């Protein structure tokens, strides 16, 4: 009988810890959720960490090879009698601490997202969104990360962070799944929640223009976009969005919010699986029930290593097939709504 032994390594500032870490807890989420890491070091282990130090954490799963899962900076250090705890945030934390106030005119959503990230000093990877906006004001009532997540939702995409510290925005995925997990091997426990659909959210803009370059696009009107937008009524909630001033923009946002309303939700407890991240799609093989096989879109991951060689991963995910109606809507409900 083989015994699984998991581990973690970390580089904090100029010091590298290949052993001796008491516990590591890493939380990762789709935007607007914020990624974090908490590293606990024994009292007798040297710890020179200060806020602003760069941090990289790798986890060792069943393959025995370290896999980098978190890159960020130190946010705070707590020095206690028995241990030192280092609290860290990834790129989403830096964006969540920034409030822009900038206004963008005649720009694509991808350019706005890149500019907001640059203002906060955050690197961007792939930004795959295709939506033109006439004008967008990144008001200071929202953080830069909330603006990026909101813009991604309007364009039918998801905002994530990468293991090496970049922000990425990619289209909401479709089957087939990218990763297979087996019940009874990686997955120890799981549960599926199927609930009735909630009232639909319909983003409504206004404007007489047919496209973002039309000179009439900035003009105010009393009509709504799309003109055929349902509601408001018992089953439909209209959400005004002044930045949506073309039919294409309003329809994209409405479609994104209406795609997966009522999607099933999965919670699973696994042995440590470092390779899964929010935004990844998984299929469960040998599932105990047909409803739990998926495919699933991972929305939140929590990795915990320690004390000792213990390691586990908790997953939260949404079904991406077999539902009646907003993927972005359900993601927002799973990790915090987007105002």
Rounded to an integer, the average pLDDT of 5-15 is 91
CB 287 within 8 Å of CB 215: no
User: What residues contact 68, with CB distance under 8 A and at least 6 apart?
Assistant: 56, 57, 58, 163, 164
Residue 134 pLDDT: 84
CB 338 within 8 Å of CB 241: no
Domains of the chain: 7-90 (2.30.300.10), 95-171 (3.55.50.10), 179-196+261-335 (2.40.30.150), 200-257 (no CATH)
β 187-193/296-305 pair status: unpaired
**Tens of pLDDT along 135-194?**
899 999 999 999 999 999 999 999 999 999 999 999 998 888 999 999 999 999 999 998
User: Both tokens of residue 88?
Assistant: 């860290």
User: Both tokens of residue 139?
Assistant: 């008001």
Nearest residue to 9 (alpha-carbon basis) of 43, 41, 36: 41
CB 304 within 8 Å of CB 23: yes
Q: Which residues pair with 314 in a beta bridge?
A: 269, 302
Q: What is the mean pLDDT of the chain?
A: 86
């Amino acid at each position: 009988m083989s015994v699984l032994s998991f581990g973690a390594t970390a580089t904090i500032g100029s010091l590298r810890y290949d052993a001796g870490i008491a516990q590591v807890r890493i939380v990762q989420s789709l935007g607007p959720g914020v990624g974090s890491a908490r590293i606990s070091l024994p009292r007798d282990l040297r710890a020179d960490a200060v806020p602003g130090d760069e941090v990289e954490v790798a986890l060792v799963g069943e393959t025995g090879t370290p896999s980098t899962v978190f890159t960020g900076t130190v946010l705070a250090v707590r020095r206690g009698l028995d241990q030192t705890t280092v609290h860290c945030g990834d790129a989403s934390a830096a964006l969540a601490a920034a409030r822009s106030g900038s206004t963008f005119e005649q720009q694509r959503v991808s350019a706005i997202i890149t500019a907001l990230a640059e203002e906060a000093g955050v690197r961007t990877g792939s930004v795959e969104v295709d939506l033109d906006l006439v004008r967008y004001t990144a008001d200071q009532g929202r953080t830069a990360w909330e603006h990026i997540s909101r813009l991604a939702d309007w364009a039918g995409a998801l905002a994530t962070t990468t293991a090496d510290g970049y922000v990425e925005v990619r289209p909401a995925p479709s089957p087939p799944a990218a990763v297979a997990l087996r019940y009874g091997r990686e997955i120890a426990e799981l549960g599926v929640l199927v609930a009735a659909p909630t009232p639909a959210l319909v983003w409504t803009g206004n404007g007489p223009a047919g496209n973002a370059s039309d000179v009439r696009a900035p003009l105010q009107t009393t009509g709504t976009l799309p003109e055929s937008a349902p509601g408001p009524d018992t089953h439909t909630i209209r959400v005004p969005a002044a930045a949506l001033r073309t039919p294409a923009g309003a329809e994209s946002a409405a479609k994104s919010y209406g795609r997966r309303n009522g999607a099933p939700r999965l919670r699973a407890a696994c042995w440590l699986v470092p390779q899964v991240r929010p935004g990844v799609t998984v299929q469960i093989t040998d599932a105990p029930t047909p409803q739990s096989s998926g495919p699933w879109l991972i929305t939140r991951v929590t990795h915990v290593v320690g004390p000792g060689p213990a390691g586990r991963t908790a997953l939260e995910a949404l079904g991406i097939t077999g539902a009646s109606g907003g993927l972005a809507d359900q993601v927002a409900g799973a990790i915090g709504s987007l105002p």
